[in-house]
Structure 1
């Protein structure tokens, strides 16, 4: 068995979704390769964890985009005036917050999970920022809104503030408040609180 890096990342993501601890030795055995080969293909545990968490995030974000396209079509705002990018981001955060596998990881390995999820040079946060920037750019191009700051700064702020609320139980001993996050992010994007749905 050759077990390319993409397959190893998918295997790792499946384990995380199921709430299983990511053990490189076990994963190597299941893939039919040595630990050294696994390391050469995907890096250390945190590298693989980051790639697996990004894969999960990417799929979750794509699901939110498909949901908008299915319910609203190609429009930038829904019938109530809610902006596509903010709604998609809100659905994404809600799905992330509801992820049992991610919750298990945060409960069992809070320091590692937060480090991997929020590292500005890691494998998750920069990709989420880029994905948010793409959502924002699409809405700007389609005439949805005019940002008051550049899209790089805006997407960075949206992700960092969203993380603060999404992982508040781990980083600040508070409860995640996605409604408050949506309102604050709406102010950042449009100058007014976003309606939550």
Structure 2
């Protein structure tokens, strides 16, 4: 009796499929995703290891697109450029209906994926923010000394504003968050 061949799928294809699925459904159902990719659930897990990790990859891919667009549309430089990029990114996150629906429907999963190594989103956002700070340091009026520390603190402030309802059940004031973020940048 012939042995059935195993269908192979790349991690990139799974993330792409996961992005499409997430944008349509505001979640990731691993069985339905495996079916849509024409692979078994076991093959899907072999490629991505866990739902949290795949959610992290999907959320980061979607956030990275927003961040790239925000950077490209930013006209200011230095501290003002960093803040402008953040404002543009925050608007994109607030307008992302599937993402907001996911936060409401699966708050514990969202917190785990966004803020812990399980999803890996936070670490990637900090690295991206460090890159933004490096680019902004090209402005001779501002040169941060501790890029790693500044990026980490800055991201935590922005996360506190973007995910205030998830973290403590109430909306944050963007103006207060921006003042705190500015203070971090100016203290560098």
Q: Which residue of 1 aligns with 2:177?
A: 181
Alpha-carbon contact 2:26-2:99 (below 8 Å) kept: no
For 1:9 and 1:105, the matched residues in 2 are separated by: 17
Which secondary structure does the structure 1 equivalent of 2:9 belong to? coil
Q: Which residue of 2 aligns with 1:194?
A: none
For 2:177 and 2:63, the matched residues in 1 are separated by: 18
Q: Which residue of 1 aligns with 2:87?
A: 90
1:25 paired with 2:22, answer: no
Alpha-carbon contact 2:52-2:119 (below 8 Å) kept: no
Q: CA RMSD in A?
A: 1.8
Deviates more, 1:119-128 or 1:35-44: 119-128
Q: Which residue of 2 aligns with 1:139?
A: 136
Give every structure 1 segment of 4 or more consecutive aligned residues whose post-TM-superposition deviation is greater than 6 Å. none
Task: Give the drift of 1:2.
Answer: 4.2
Alignment of 1:135-174 (within 5 A): 135-147=132-144, 149-174=145-170
Q: Which residue of 2 aligns with 1:49?
A: 55
Deviates more, 1:83-92 or 1:33-42: 83-92
TM-score, normalisation: structure 2? 0.88
Structure 1 gaps of 5+ residues are 192-197
Greater helix share, structure number: 2
Structure 2 gaps of 5+ residues are 1-6
1:13-51 CA-to-partner distances (Å, cap 9, x unmatched) read 222223432111110011011111111111211110000
Q: Which residue of 1 aligns with 2:100?
A: 103
Q: Which residue of 1 aligns with 2:70?
A: 64
1:81-137 CA-to-partner distances (Å, cap 9, x unmatched) read x62122112211221122111111110000100110011564210000000000001
For 1:108 and 1:95, the matched residues in 2 are separated by: 20
Alpha-carbon contact 1:93-1:178 (below 8 Å) kept: no
Which secondary structure does the structure 2 equivalent of 1:90 belong to? helix
Question: How many residue pairs align between the two structures?
Answer: 181
